[in-house]
Structure 1
Amino acid sequence: MEFRCIPEHLPAALSQWDGDCLAVGLFAGADDRPEHPQLQQLTTALGQPLAERLEQRRFKAKPGECLSLDRLDATPQTLILVGLGAPADLSLAGLRQAAAAASQAAVAAGARHLALALPIEGLEAGAAARAMAEATRLALFSDQRFKSEAEPRPQPATVSLIGVAKAAEPTLAAVNATCAGVELARELVAAPPNVATPQHLADTAAAIARDFGITLRVLERSDCEALGMGAYLGVAQGSDLAPKFIHLTYTPPGPVQRRIALVGKGLTFDSGGYNLKTAGSQIEMMKYDMGGSASVLGAARAIAELKPAGVEVHVIVAACENMISGGAVHPGDILTASNGKTIEINNTDAEGRLTLADALVYACKLEPDAVVDLATLTGACVIALGEEMAGLWSNNDGLAEALLGAGQAGGEDLWRMPLRSSYKAGLKSPVADLKNTGPRPGGSITAALFLQDFVTPKLAWAHLDIAGTVWSDKGRGADPAGATGFGVRTLVNWICSGAATGAAARI
């Protein structure tokens, strides 16, 4: 999909564009009727009694509301009016929603060349352009790999952003690579667990390494045993599928100013182990328990294509299944992680933090400037923040602020949560260094505190709990229903914006 900017506004821009579908954003007026400075201009330019049609079709310009009008023997052939809500509410999120709705209506109309005329007054032009472009492509994502008869969905070949200065075009250069990373993450999360196995994640990493010329190392079970990864291997021991510890490395052209480690939880299926998930626990959806690994692999794919300067990126996934068998870990077992800490297993369904423990120890040994882990870690985070925000815990204010900003720029909302040290008392064990779960209150906080025990002291670290955001049954904002690919845009924005290569105070 090709994106370009046309700085002229309607109707002058129409003289430079000869596509077949035009989408125009309209604000909602105080009298519940659409209003916009471009409405009269549009009526004049296209010679169509729009006001009458809008009244007839009861179009009120609510956020995301769309009205498609066919114009036979005319250019453009299809006019799409998309609602923006109240003018005071215009934001990047609103632009994303409007662009997504317009692009879906354009595909339904069979458009090949789409123009978006959405107002960006009061918004930074580059950020607005990128928001519209990302929303357009990602809203049209359709995963039909497992259908016997796929439905053809031709997408627009070009998307023109009317009223956006040419100076904003450089920001569009990263859109397709970033979206490809999001789409890869969505495909990994959406794939059934008999497809997206630990070996499949390793194969995906190998494809990224091959296609973009970066380095891959895959540690087998024996390699992990040699490194003392007892927590990770304890989770993996109940499955017939071999664990795969994945380490991708992107090395930038030129000098390395910063080294970053991204760690993703890679449970390709989570039965709960002997603390078996029961009916109503969404056991059938536990294919998405590898959402963190999907996010970091998607980010790796985008970063490897974009080739940001100055930053070396290590992507780490401890992939395995959590299953029940005669060899599975028992409640009450004690495992020893690779940093020597012993862990009493009081709940086999709190397995993700065990795999992350050894992955974080491994990441810290690379001596990075910052470590960020992503995981579908706790239901407690979903209860606390719902399904539209991910939880963020960090021991470093600069890193937390950078990630919050990167998430906002990518349409991925994060909310910083506390690392309250007194809550760590809930992880005390009478027989080991710590238990793998604490009391129910503050469960997402004690989970983050557990992970912090496996991070080198004073090393900048952040933990993102994406349990509520990795999947959407009905669609959310500009994203269609299903796997969201949450986290990819945040990581890519953070690393490629320069925040990860900035002064030490930033991370």
Structure 2
Amino acid sequence: MKISLSPATPEAWSGSVLALGIPQDDPQGLVEAMEQRFNIQLSEWLKQKPFTGKSGDLASLQLLRSDCTTLVLLGLGDPDSVDRDSLRMAAAAAARAAQGQSGSLGLMLPMGSEDPIGDATAAAEAVRLALYSDLRFRSKPEPSLRPEQLELLGQWPGGLNQTLETVHPVCAGVELARELVAAPPNSVTPEELARTAATLAHEHGLDLTVLERADCEERGMGSYLSVCQGSDMDPKFIHLTYRPSGVAKKRLILVGKGLTFDSGGYNLKVGAAQIDMMKFDMGGSAAVFGAMRSIAELRPAGVEVHMLVAACENMINGSAVHPGDIVTASNGTTIEINNTDAEGRLTLADALVYASKLKPDAIVDLATLTGACVVALGDEIAGLWTPDDALSSDLETAANNAGEGLWRMPLHSSYRKGLKSLLADMKNTGPRPGGSITAALFLKEFVDAGIPWAHIDIAGTVWSDKGRGLNPSGATGYGVRTLVNWVLKQSSTVEA
């Protein structure tokens, strides 16, 4: 899709679909203007819908004998309450209303903030991502028509030469993450994740190291390797690196949980545990893969970015880890496994030890880690745990600018006692109450002191059953835009 800024007014623009954001009471008089332009009794028709301009209202009208085929009106609600999220929701609705038509989509929304290009970027991302569909596994795919061009209408203070250069790279990363999460577990395996990393490395000039089982054994990754004991598929520890063209003044590490399928092990998932959906237990790895795809194309200066994914399956056979087994992580910590279905943190433990050895300026891990986080925050907000206030602020700002819900949660140190083991240094799970907190405290044990670290639990946000806003139903690609925003901000502070 070609995306551009246009100075055309709604009265003058011509194309396939004209979509206009209308706040309540229509302060700009757009309805009257469209009545005059198209010679239609639009006000009377809208009363029958009814369309009042409240947030979420939508009216679509096919036009005859006009240089536009469709007029779409999008309710924005109280004009004083229109924010960037409102613009995203409206842009996504416009995109869906334009599906089934080719040609161009002209979209006018009130870009009235201090950063109109930021608003335009958010709207453009919403249009592209709302039009996403995944037909890879259909025997007879029937792709629908969609606009080939998006024109954002308005008065642009900086002129029309301003570019929305991040839109396509960021959306491509989100789409990659969605594809990885949505694909079935017989398609996205640990080996397939390694192949995906190899493709990214080849196409974007990234460095790639893949540690095989023997390499991981040599490094003492007993925590990670215990998880895949019951699988016929070999684990793949994937290390992908972006290096800037100039001097790297910051080293950032993105760690993603990469369980391509999680049966729960001998603590088998049953009932409401959704074993049929455990293909999305690699959502953290999908997010960091997508972020690396975007970062590699955007090529931020001054930052070196590493991606780590300890990919494997959690399956059951005669060699599978037992509840009660004690394993040793690569930093020497011994872990009593009191729940084989709390396996993600075991893989992340060795990944965080590996990350710490790279002496980074910051580590951020993403994981579909706990049901407790879903209970606390639902399916629109991810949980954030970090002992570092500055890192928390940076990530929350990045998420807010991306339109991705993120909420800082307590890293309550006294809950650490819930991980005490009679035999080993610690257990892999604590009591059920506060389960997402003890999970984060477990991970903290494997990060070297002094390294800023944050854990983001995306168990609720990785998938949307019904779809919302720019996310169609299914995989959301959550986390990609937040991570990219964070990395770009780190780059800008280095350059400054």
Mark yes or no: TM-score above 0.5.
Answer: yes
**Once structures 1 and 2 are overlaid, which stretch shifts more, 380-389 or 121-130?**
121-130
2:65 aligned residue (73, 77, 82): 73
Residue pairs, 1:147-158, within 5 angstroms = 147-158=138-149
Q: Within 2, Cα distance between the matches of 1:257 and 1:35?
A: 49
> Which letter does structure 1 place at the counterpart of 2:20?
V
SS at match of 1:353: helix
Q: Within 2, Cα distance between the matches of 1:164 and 1:225?
A: 61
1:285 aligned residue (277, 283, 298): 277
What is residue 432 of structure 2 aligned with on the other side? 440
What is residue 88 of structure 1 aligned with on the other side? 80
What is residue 414 of structure 2 aligned with on the other side? 422
2:150 aligned residue (142, 159, 165): 159
Q: Within 2, Cα distance between the matches of 1:457 and 1:321?
A: 30
Q: Within 1, Cα distance between the matches of 2:58 and 2:406?
A: 29
> Which letter does structure 2 place at the counterpart of 1:6?
S
1:389 aligned residue (381, 395, 399): 381
Q: Do the aligned residues in 2 keep the contact of 1:221 with 1:242 (CA within 8 Å)? A: yes
Q: Within 1, Cα distance between the matches of 2:392 and 2:384?
A: 8
Q: What's the offset of the Cα at 1:226? A: 0.5
Is 2:111 aligned against 1:115?
A: no
Q: Do the aligned residues in 1 keep the contact of 2:229 with 2:319 (CA within 8 Å)? A: yes
Residue pairs, 1:365-376, within 5 angstroms = 365-376=357-368
Q: Within 1, Cα distance between the matches of 2:163 and 2:191?
A: 36
Residue pairs, 1:415-494, within 5 angstroms = 415-494=407-486
> Which letter does structure 2 place at the counterpart of 1:202?
A
Q: Within 2, Cα distance between the matches of 1:438 and 1:399?
A: 26
Q: Do the aligned residues in 1 keep the contact of 2:35 with 2:41 (CA within 8 Å)? A: yes
Q: For each residue in 1:447-490, what CA deviation from the matched residue of structure 2 results, as whole angstroms up to 9, or x when unmatched?
A: 00000000010101010000000000001232111000000000
- Using structure 1 for the length normalisation, give the TM-score: 0.95
SS at match of 1:247: strand
Q: Within 2, Cα distance between the matches of 1:407 and 1:98?
A: 19
What is residue 132 of structure 2 aligned with on the other side? 141
Q: What's the offset of the Cα at 1:86? A: 2.2
Q: Within 2, Cα distance between the matches of 1:384 and 1:171?
A: 40
2:303 aligned residue (300, 311, 320): 311
1:19 aligned residue (15, 19, 32): 15
Q: Do the aligned residues in 2 keep the contact of 1:6 with 1:166 (CA within 8 Å)? A: no
> Which letter does structure 2 place at the counterpart of 1:28?
Q
Q: What's the offset of the Cα at 1:501? A: 5.7
Q: Do the aligned residues in 2 keep the contact of 1:130 with 1:171 (CA within 8 Å)? A: no
What is residue 360 of structure 1 aligned with on the other side? 352
What is residue 3 of structure 2 aligned with on the other side? 3
> Which letter does structure 2 place at the counterpart of 1:3?
I
Distance change (3 Å), C-alpha of 1:424 and 1:288: same
Q: Do the aligned residues in 1 keep the contact of 2:172 with 2:294 (CA within 8 Å)? A: yes
Q: What's the offset of the Cα at 1:67? A: 1.6
> Which letter does structure 2 place at the counterpart of 1:126?
I
Q: Do the aligned residues in 2 keep the contact of 1:25 with 1:81 (CA within 8 Å)? A: yes
Q: Within 1, Cα distance between the matches of 2:328 and 2:493?
A: 37
* Identity level (%): 59
What is residue 246 of structure 1 aligned with on the other side? 238
Is 2:394 aligned against 1:398?
A: no
Q: Within 1, Cα distance between the matches of 2:92 and 2:248?
A: 38
Size of the alignment, in residue pairs? Answer: 495
Q: Within 2, Cα distance between the matches of 1:73 and 1:162?
A: 23
Q: Within 2, Cα distance between the matches of 1:166 and 1:486?
A: 32
What's the RMSD between the two structures over aligned residues? 1.7
Q: For each residue in 1:145-204, what CA deviation from the matched residue of structure 2 results, as whole angstroms up to 9, or x when unmatched?
A: 111111222321111111151638646111011000000000000000111110111111
Residue pairs, 1:223-238, within 5 angstroms = 223-238=215-230
2:165 aligned residue (173, 177, 201): 173
Q: Within 2, Cα distance between the matches of 1:57 and 1:123?
A: 34
SS at match of 1:88: helix
> Which letter does structure 1 place at the counterpart of 2:147?
P
